[in-house]
Amino acid sequence: KQEVTQIPAALSVPEGENLVLNCSFTDSAIYNLQWFRQDPGKGLTSLLLIQSSQREQTSGRLNASLDKSSGRSTLYIAASQPGDSATYLCAVLIIQGAQKLVFGQGTRLTINP
Amino acid sequence: SQTIHQWPATLVQPVGSPLSLECTVEGTSNPNLYWYRQAAGRGLQLLFYSVGIGQISSEVPQNLSASRPQDRQFILSSKKLLLSDSGFYLCAWSVGQSRPYEQYFGPGTRLTVT
């Protein structure tokens, strides 16, 4: 059974710092990995999607990497801003009859001005 | 462009009452549709998925059911709510049976069962 773990559960850093969020998964048979952002009480906003054949994806100040063989992904946020404060969720997609996302518990990020 | 709607945004219901949550998708045809639940202290869990009208698969045994009466409409229902049904319900869609299999999420419905 696929399990996804995110470490740390919460992170608080001062504005301007570069930071890394970690995600690990137990089964390397994935089709893609998505990083989402969730603001309090809101839905999920997709940040980056890395297909299983890819190693990384970049969007603005965000860079996500994928090492399928070791079951790990990282989300790197450069020059953090208070507006980056949110919960970040990692999810892997498996196909068992249908396309299913398996989520981690998330990392709650606070950027202090 | 594609848009996904969910309503209501928030709902407070007593134990034993019925439930109906609605999700609609605009701007695409024959999407795959999903219901997820995010309960307090737990991660997002897939509840139901549908690959076409009338085709529903359940991921976990529970007090809820789902229906897809139209191509872009997905409904989550219950005949009698339990306290444990409280949570944040998210609808999602994806298109096709080929890569990249990206899923897009709606704004969610916050359900509190009292």
Least CB–CB distance from B57: residue in A41, A49, A98: A98
A44 touches chain B (CB under 8 A): yes
Residue A95 pLDDT: 87
Q: CB atoms < 10 A from the CB of A83, how many?
A: 9
Q: Is the pLDDT of residue B97 over 80?
A: no
pLDDT of residue B42: 78
Q: Distance (Å) from the C-alpha of residue B81 to the closest C-alpha of chain A?
A: 22
Q: Do B59 and A100 touch (CB under 8 A)?
A: yes
User: Taking 80 as the threshold, does the pLDDT of residue B61 lie above it?
Assistant: no
Question: In whole angstroms, what separates CA B14 from the centre of its chain?
Answer: 20
Give me the pLDDT at residue B10, please.
Answer: 96
Residues of chain A with pLDDT under 70: none
pLDDT of B85 strictly over 80: yes
Please give the Cα distance from B3 to B28 (Å, whole number): 9
- For A46, the token pair is 């997709």
Contact A101, A92 (CB under 8 A): yes
Does A44 sit within 8 Å of B43, measured CB to CB? Answer: no
Chain A partners within 8 Å of B105 (Cβ) = 36, 43-46
User: What confidence score (pLDDT) does residue B41 get?
Assistant: 75
Residues forming beta bridges with residue B98, ordered by sequence position = none
CB contact at 8 A, A26 and A6: no
Residue B108: how many CB atoms within 10 A of its CB?
23
* Residue B43, pLDDT score: 83
Q: Which helix (H) or strand (E) holds B60?
A: none
Res. B83 pLDDT band, cuts 50 70 90: very high
Q: Max CA-CA distance within chain A?
A: 46
Ranking A59-73, A78-92, B57-71, B73-87 by mean pLDDT, the lowest is B57-71
